[in-house]
Structure 1
Amino acid sequence: MRQIGTLRNWNEERGFGFIAPTQGGAEIFVHVTAFARDGTRPTVGERLSYELGRNPEGKPQAVEVVRLAVGSSRPTRSVEVVAARPRTSWLGITLIVALIAVASAWGYKALADRRHRAELAAQPVAPTLRSPSSSVSPAVFHCDGRTHCSQMTSCAEAKWFIRNCPGTKMDGNNDGVPCQEQWCN
């Protein structure tokens, strides 16, 4: 039940004061957190409407105080309700968005790599030519995005790729002989 009283004294430094109830009786303790957060401070002598509550020690105190001179009809929330509401900072939101972006990029790259490997596996493998006297026909191989020795099936294929396809990474010492440790010993 709402009660009405007058603010009898106020300690600005410590943020509390006492209300004298209109119907009489002992003065009621009031803390600054019981007032609306509108940027103004309580003043001695103003009329207040309040609910009677209890502090953690069980003593009576005013809660949900409304300043009647201000004309606010909506009581403020108690400290417990305001403290329970989560607040998200811009930094937290930015970090969450960044994590989602990184995870999405990583997932997209993994999916693209998997599709590329499936496409390579579906392509027919070029036959290896064992005879040193036969020449490699350009129609046997084609540039398909492979760049590493582990993706080749023979020395002839690696040599054809290094000569005809840009961006290969198979001649580490730049001597013109690719895949020396795997295919072209």
Structure 2
Amino acid sequence: MRTHGTLVKWNDERGFGFIAPAQGSDELFVHVSAFRRGGARPQVNELVSFEIRIKPDGKREAINVMRAGEGSRPPGHRRSARDAAAPRSGLLGSALSIAAVAAIGWVGYDRYFAGRGVMPAPMAESVGADGVSDSRRASPASSAEFSPADSRSGPTFVCDGRIHCSQMNSCEEARFFVRHCPNTKMDGDGDGQPCESEC
């Protein structure tokens, strides 16, 4: 049963004090843990409401102390470590969800443009060992090099970032990459014939 009283003594260093019940009975011991966490420190002459518990030694103490303006809480309620961590785990979950959506979006964007043979332009103009500039390598093939008839008659290859012979599936694919894709490392002597030892 909840009753009211006044905090008449308080030792802040040791975290306990005494409450004088409004009915005029003996003062009750109260420990700091009986107050709600996160509030201001208890003050002498503060009006409080509380429940009374009889300890095993027969002495009475105040528990579940509430101050003016505080809502009720279930008896013996203590905020668990899991409750305290809930807001942080919610933020972490939201951040991970946003990161996952961004990653999926990036993969979709990359595949969409890679499927159309679009490659990013090089940062600076440079000329390779074969005398062909990087911008020419990155630019779409001319009609003489790669005509619509070629795409109908044979397999279609896409510049997808592969640059070494070991990554190619056929000599035809390697030739396409050397002619149409930037920064390949398959034509060391610059004669236009890739992967000389294999093709």
Please indicate the TM-score interval, normalised by the length of the shorter structure.
0.5 to 0.7
Does 1:100 pair with 2:97?
A: yes
Structure 1 gaps, min length 5 = 120-135
Cα 1:107/1:73, change in 2 over 3 Å: closer
SS at match of 1:169: coil
- TM-score, normalising length: structure 2: 0.53
1:23 is aligned to: 23
SS at match of 1:41: coil
Q: Quote the RMSD (CA, aligned, Å).
A: 4.5
Identity %: 32
> How much has 1:107 moved relative to structure 2?
4.9
Cα 1:93/1:15, change in 2 over 3 Å: same
Structure 2 gaps, min length 5 = 117-144
Aligned positions of 1:117-132 closer than 5 A: none
> How much has 1:103 moved relative to structure 2?
3.8
- TM-score, normalising length: structure 1: 0.56
Distance 1:31 1:180 in 2: 86
Distance 2:73 2:95 in 1: 37
Distance 1:166 1:103 in 2: 30
Give the aligned length.
161
Choose the corresponding residue for 1:171, options 162, 168, 186.
Answer: 186
Contact residue 65 and residue 75 of structure 1 kept, 8 A: no
2:33 is aligned to: 33
Distance 2:194 2:84 in 1: 60
Deviation track 1:147-169 (CA, whole Å, cap 9, x = no partner) reads 544445335x5334422x13263
1:74 is aligned to: 71
SS at match of 2:93: helix
